[in-house]
Structure 1
Amino acid sequence: MSATTVHPPLVPRRTAAALGVLSVAAALGAGHLVAGLVSPVSSPFLAVGNSAIALAPQWLVDVAKSAFGTADKPVLLAGMALVLVGAAVGVGLLSRGRPQPGVRALVGLGLLGFAAVALSPAFTPVDLLAPAAAAGAGVLALRRLHALALPGTPRAGSGVDRRTMLVGTSALVGFGALAAGGLGQLLGSRLAGSREEVTARLARVALAERAPAIPAGAAFPELGTPTFLTPNADFYRIDTALRIPTQTAADWSLRVHGMVDRELTLTFDDLLARPLRERTVTMICVSNEVGDDYISTADFVGVDLREVLLEAGVAPGADQVLSTSSDGLWTAGTPLEVLLEPDRGALLAVGMNGEALPPEHGFPVRMVVPGLYGYVSATKWVTDLEVTTFDRKQAYWLQRGWGRLGPVKTQSRIDVPRSAGSAPAGAVTVAGIAWSQPVGISRVEVRLDDGPWADAELATEVGGDTWRMWRAVVDAAPGSHVVTVRATDANGVTQTEERAPVLPDGATGHHSVVFTAL
């Protein structure tokens, strides 16, 4: 008579996978909740994502921007979520017999979260509370659910059977994870009241300088160009933040230090007590491909940055202002000589199009520097300005192979007709935008197919710091056509036809559109 082999009880595969997912969900919810209480950027999930952005090679960043544009962050988060679901299923399957293998896997994930939080540029010791809470909640959830799911577990003393207890506990863990995560998100987004107060305060301020009114003939939106001022909701957004920093105006301060005669620390009230100036500025991302739409215009209100630097007293030999965002994830190196130009108009901006800065555009304070691409000038959520040299400190994008100075290049774009679109044969209206900061645009020309260049009609000029709309009429016979545009700046320099990629300091080349005349 052969001996009978006794197999230890195992949690069913599907049940084990579900328990792993619930345990990881509990960990994420607890971490997000504690992060909302202490520091939003200490959420382990977001910290890992931010580390991925910081450590990603430039070629991967370029691929993500090209493939997903401004949706690159949601895509990254979605990808991370899928990876976590897979890892959570693995945690559950490892724990079919005993919880220890899954616990060890959860601890490994927890250590990854600890490392990501600890390596964050804005790290403080209290930030470790979030990954600690995440690891603890995940382990506790897994142990409790495993004990209920393992066949042979005795009935609860209350008389409730094991299956009912498991289902109830699983539901409680799931809903608890969702509630904790949602509450953490809510706690980390406490800006509405602060923004409303700032908007109201700005409405009461007598501006030291007001931007000229936008003339009626400054844009041709009826033809298909953008409106001259871009609504805040439509303003392009490019930054490295997976989660928008949530500093209130009352908690904000700016440190100006480094190669200065006197270090300054400014609060938000200090800024509003200074002369506030309103300036209309077009901002362009260096990642704007020829014909792309990473360009917008707004009325910004703020403090003249040159005046702040002169008050601090710039030491000889300095050639850069290194600005840092409140989460420490973004740094930009701005040429000092540009910021000190008397007519450049660089701002520490607090308002945008008649209201406080939107959270995604830098509330409570951001930098705006006309004539420079954003990667060297447009730091949002700015809290630190260090006067230094390019040799001593390299900003985020400079470390990744981008150019040092980042001046905006003369460019033009066709908005109508649309690429691969159609229009009635005969007189076809062509319209678009052109820009060349800070000098402005003096001429725009269009060409149909291989014909001669012809002058376009320019919209009323608002200023050298803004885009300029244009329109023209071409005579198109039935069939397929190519229309091309080029612009000339106020100094008489025409944009180059030579194609260049965005790396290292901005794209060049003429924009062309293929359309069909019917």
Structure 2
Amino acid sequence: AERGMAVMQLGGAIIVAGALLSLSLARWGRKQPALVGLLIGLLVGLPVLGAIISVSNRDPYPVANIAIILGLTLVWGLLIGWSYQRAMRPEEQLAMPAPETTAPEVTAPAASATTLNRRQFLVTLGAASAVITVAGSGVAASLASAERRRQEAQLAAALAAGGGSATTTGGGVPFPNANDPLIPAPGTRLEYTPLADHYQVFLSTEPSIIEEEDWQLTITGLIDNPMQLTLQELKDNYEKVGQFVTLTCISGRVGTGLISTTHWGGLRVSDLLADLGVQPEAKYMHIRSADGFYETVDLELVASEPRLLLAYEWDGIPIPKDHGFPLRIWIPDRYGMKQPKWITDIEITDEYIPGYWVERNWDEVAQVRTTSVIDTVAASTPLEERGQTLIPVGGIAYAGARGISKVEVRVDGGEWQPAQLRQPLSETTWVIWRFDWPFSDGQHLFEVRTAEADGTPQIEETMRNRPSGATGIHSYEASL
């Protein structure tokens, strides 16, 4: 969707620019339309080139993209000049002295031809703009896809080298619930998400690309000790801590796949702030990212939440480049929209600055809303118990950092019945649940609900994701 919007915006901008610049051709382009067209293409291309150069530190193919943009805009300008020259020929013919034998009525067809050719010019302009836009988008997408494949290959190699097992993460961190006797129902999502499957959301059409040697974290503002720190300095100067974390996106609907769990490693934000000499009037930490994202974190939240991390590792390896390398923040109990990736700058300030998505009318706090999901009704793997056939039903429940106390399932609108819960990886991850349902054939509707650790029930009323996150009962239909 974001790529489509970007293509439409670029195409619209080119069409508008072409219409405006065709006026220049009307004044200066009759004698040398090709030259004027090239100049027009150059004038359109230069601002785009400037934008590319300004962000080339995160562009995997800056030279190739510059050449593509420049070449396409020059071709586009030539097409405008050529189209204009063809459209204006009838007018030039009309301007010539007519022979005495020419009948007066031939003027009308010529004028008609002029009108037709002007229309053809506009059609050609629109078609050329569309072709240039789609071609540019396609080539850029191809380059980006190649870069993504390269990164995925690197990630796969890192995962293979890191290992991991049924009892540890890729970084060798033991799963605290490895001995829990509850086996998830067949078809339930993996409790620990492989990095290659971790959900992704980008502000633009592609992730930012940052090389470690080009990066420093710049910290300024109401502090006694401004700093510029490399990634290695962050690792060397601050204690590394880890946390199993489930992260989810506020834009997901009930039952969304935009939710994943892995092990995060990094430094406590509070440890970093302790070295900055934060001045008494400071109230907020304003974070900026390489992709243009920004967010504000209240310093009171930092003081009250020691788990808040500046993370540089996932699953024992550097955070993948398409997930925020080299540095991203983790704020417990908040949706991903509050958690910048590819962090470049932190400013300590007394001024509240609304975050990127808050400015776009999403929730200011963005606290995770409690949810429960049915992943599977495992009809193909029934159990036999005391002469009764049981069908395993399973899924996840998640309440941010507030924990889960119970999960209940009902079938065909009947009574709510308790499910079994597996010990979570941490207090900030989802909980795997299982319910063995007494089989009966036919079409059935399964529903699930949950409650937080303190007994607060999930919101059962169906509400859309905007502005505060989706709520409602998740259901699953099965024919057995």
Provide the rounded CA distance (Å) in 1 between the counterparts of 2:308 and 2:181.
23
Mapping of residues 8-407 of structure 1, within 5 Å: 72-76=1-5, 98-100=33-35, 102-103=37-38, 105-107=40-42, 109-110=44-45, 113=48, 134-135=69-70, 138-139=73-74, 213-217=176-180, 220=183, 223-273=186-236, 274-316=238-280, 318-327=282-291, 329-343=292-306, 345-377=307-339, 379-389=340-350, 392-407=352-367
Distance 1:321 1:89, change over 3 A: closer
| Matched residue, 1:453 | 416
Distance 1:314 1:354, change over 3 A: same
Aligned to 2:443, the other structure's residue is in SS state strand
Q: Which of 469, 475, 480 pairs up with 1:512?
A: 475
The structural deviation recorded for 1:275 is: 1.5
| Matched residue, 1:23 | none
Q: How many residues align?
A: 406
Provide the rounded CA distance (Å) in 1 between the counterparts of 2:265 and 2:433.
27
Distance 1:481 1:143, change over 3 A: closer
Provide the rounded CA distance (Å) in 2 between the counterparts of 1:184 and 1:462.
35
Deviations 1:46-95 (A, max 9, x none): xxxxxxxxxxxxxxxxxxxxxxxxxx344446657887999999999x99
Distance 1:440 1:194, change over 3 A: same
| Matched residue, 1:12 | none
Distance 1:496 1:121, change over 3 A: farther
Deviations 1:398-420 (A, max 9, x none): 110112111112111111139xx
The structural deviation recorded for 1:495 is: 0.8
- Conserved in 2, the CA contact under 8 Å of 1:189 and 1:246? no
Deviations 1:166-199 (A, max 9, x none): xxxxxxxxxxxx9999889989999899999999
Aligned to 1:398, the other structure's residue is in SS state coil
Letter in structure 2 aligned against 1:383: T
- Conserved in 2, the CA contact under 8 Å of 1:304 and 1:348? yes
Aligned to 2:212, the other structure's residue is in SS state coil
Aligned to 1:400, the other structure's residue is in SS state coil
Q: Identity rate of aligned residues, in percent?
A: 29
Matched, 1:463 2:426: yes
Aligned to 1:430, the other structure's residue is in SS state strand
Provide the rounded CA distance (Å) in 2 between the counterparts of 1:199 and 1:427.
37
Letter in structure 2 aligned against 1:409: R
Provide the rounded CA distance (Å) in 1 between the counterparts of 2:255 and 2:55.
36
| Matched residue, 2:392 | 429
Letter in structure 1 aligned against 2:34: P
The structural deviation recorded for 1:238 is: 1.1
| Matched residue, 1:161 | none
Provide the rounded CA distance (Å) in 2 between the counterparts of 1:105 and 1:218.
71
Q: Which of 444, 451, 465 pairs up with 1:502?
A: 465
The structural deviation recorded for 1:383 is: 1.1
- Conserved in 1, the CA contact under 8 Å of 2:186 and 2:381? no
Larger-Rg structure: 2
Distance 1:503 1:313, change over 3 A: farther
The structural deviation recorded for 1:321 is: 2.2
Aligned to 2:304, the other structure's residue is in SS state coil
The structural deviation recorded for 1:104 is: 5.5
Letter in structure 2 aligned against 1:406: A
Distance 1:116 1:219, change over 3 A: farther
The structural deviation recorded for 1:486 is: 1.0
- Conserved in 2, the CA contact under 8 Å of 1:286 and 1:506? yes
Distance 1:276 1:195, change over 3 A: farther
Cα root mean square deviation, aligned: 4.9
Aligned to 1:367, the other structure's residue is in SS state strand
Letter in structure 2 aligned against 1:385: I
Distance 1:219 1:248, change over 3 A: farther
The structural deviation recorded for 1:260 is: 3.0
The structural deviation recorded for 1:308 is: 0.8
Letter in structure 1 aligned against 2:318: A
Letter in structure 2 aligned against 1:373: Y
- Conserved in 2, the CA contact under 8 Å of 1:332 and 1:376? yes
- Conserved in 1, the CA contact under 8 Å of 2:264 and 2:313? yes
The structural deviation recorded for 1:111 is: 5.7
TM-score normalized by the length of structure 2: 0.69
Letter in structure 2 aligned against 1:224: G
Deviations 1:14-47 (A, max 9, x none): xxxxxxxxxxxxxxxxxxxxxxxxxxxxxxxxxx
Letter in structure 1 aligned against 2:323: H
Provide the rounded CA distance (Å) in 2 between the counterparts of 1:260 and 1:234.
40
Distance 1:137 1:286, change over 3 A: closer
- Conserved in 2, the CA contact under 8 Å of 1:423 and 1:515? no
Letter in structure 2 aligned against 1:288: G
- Conserved in 2, the CA contact under 8 Å of 1:347 and 1:369? yes
Distance 1:439 1:121, change over 3 A: farther
